[in-house]
Amino acid sequence: MYFQPIMTVNFSDIEAAHQRIKHLIVKTPLLNSPRLDEIAGRKLWIKAEPLQVTGSFKFRGACSAISALTADARERGVLAYSSGNHAQGVALAARLFGTSATIVMPHDAPSNKVANTQALGAEVIRYHRGKESRETIGSTVATERRLSLIKPYDDSMVIAGQGTVGIELAHQITEHDVSASAVLCCCGGGGLSAGIATALAATHPRLSVHTVEPEGFDDTLRSLRLGYRVRNASEQGSICDAIVTPTPGELTFPILKRLAGAGFAVSDQQVLHAMKLAFDTLKLVTEPGGAVALAAALFGAHLPDADELLVIASGGNVDGSTFRKALAIG
């Protein structure tokens, strides 16, 4: 259990998380490319979370959650379910805080993410996505072994950790004299976008945060439009494995409903093209789920009317075959 369990997240929680983990995380850079600006027709500022420890923003939330556990809970160990990025973040954070990690991962998780998770010392339990429930498996194993469950997004301490991206952005906006009025953020369950929206609502309330998802798996876009949570028809069929979730989070959606603007969705082809351009122009390796916000900034329609946009590139743990496919685009 945490020292002070909470059911929502405010800016003070994010500040506290930042104090707990700032010595462990990388303050990732804010990048710009004139070529990307030309394609987008506006200036783009890209927050490069592929350069974060373990290759994605997920390390922030994992460190925040584990650092907030009581000593007894930390000694017993932690459990998480994830397709890969949260898995790697929790595995390394557990090692750094001297505890064990058990990770429930789908059978179709990219092999590099499974291997990296195991290399970090975690026990991996596999399940069949679409046939079995990771939530049920995770809850059962956590109860049987008396482990603390670190959910990938529906966890207040995880959201607070992801919100540290927003704290960094607040400083970088001043450092780079950024005049953007909107942020495009990759979105699965909504932990990153909810955390950033909460942080920026306190520091830059005129900045609107917009979620971006893969076409056909845009549950947050549709939920925001309707005002209540809806589900995706399937959890399989997108190259954006890192951000395919069944429905927006129980904790994250109310935050996004209150603070976020309209959502966007992009095609797999747009995502692959964005991955290639990120590498060609910035030498930044992104995975499909980590490139959807950039894809929207470059190729999306009905974007916020702004001369500058902030774009979150959320992860770079891409397998070789997918990356080669992106680089082969003419």
What would the pLDDT profile of 158-199 be if each residue is shown by its tens digit?
Answer: 999 999 999 999 999 999 999 999 999 999 999 999 999 999
Structure tokens, 186: 């990759």
What is d(CA 64, CA 181) in angstroms, rounded to the nearest whole number? 28
Task: Select 11-56+160-327's CATH number: 3.90.45.10, 2.40.420.20, 3.40.50.1100, 3.40.50.300.
Answer: 3.40.50.1100
- Residue 60 phi/psi, 5-degree rounding, is -60, -50
Residue with tokens 């929502």: 8
pTM for the complete prediction? Answer: 0.95
- For residues 58-79, one letter each, b for 16 or more C-beta atoms within 10 angstroms of the residue's C-beta and e for the rest, the string is bbbbbbbbbbbbeeebbebbbb
Looking at residue 4, its pLDDT comes to 41
Query: Residue 47 pLDDT > 70, yes or no?
Result: yes
| 58 among known catalytic residues | yes
What would the pLDDT profile of 191-221 be if each residue is shown by its tens digit?
Answer: 999 999 999 999 999 999 999 999 999 999 9
What would the pLDDT profile of 296-329 be if each residue is shown by its tens digit?
Answer: 999 999 999 999 999 999 999 999 999 999 999 9
Structure tokens, 249: 């989070």
Looking at residue 129, its pLDDT comes to 81
H/E element, 266: strand 264-266
Model confidence at 123, pLDDT cuts 50, 70, 90, reads very high
**For 91, left (φ over 0), alpha (ψ -120 to 50), or beta?**
alpha
Q: Which residues contact 99 (CB under 8 A, 6 or more apart)?
A: 66, 74, 75, 76, 77, 78
Choice among 83, 148, 208, 223 that is catalytic:
83
Structural contact between residues 88 and 110, judged by C-beta atoms closer than 8 angstroms: no
Per CATH, the number for 59-157 is 3.40.50.1100
Looking at residue 1, its pLDDT comes to 47
Query: Residue 2 pLDDT > 90, yes or no?
Result: no
Provide the β-strand partners of residue 103.
80, 124
Model confidence at 3, pLDDT cuts 50, 70, 90, reads very low
Looking at residue 7, its pLDDT comes to 67
Looking at residue 14, its pLDDT comes to 98
Percent of the chain with pLDDT over 90: 91
H helix runs in the chain, sequence order: 11-21, 34-40, 58-67, 71-76, 85-96, 111-119, 134-145, 156-162, 164-175, 191-203, 219-226, 252-259, 268-282, 288-299, 320-327
Read off the pLDDT of each residue in 125-151 and give the average, rounded to a whole number. Answer: 93
What is d(CA 205, CA 310) in angstroms, rounded to the nearest whole number? 14
What would the pLDDT profile of 237-283 be if each residue is shown by its tens digit?
Answer: 899 989 999 999 999 999 999 999 999 999 999 999 999 999 999 99
Provide the β-strand partners of residue 79.
102, 149
* Numbered ranges of CATH 3.40.50.1100 in the chain: 11-56+160-327, 59-157
Choice among 43, 47, 58, 276 that is catalytic:
58
Looking at residue 308, its pLDDT comes to 98
Looking at residue 152, its pLDDT comes to 95
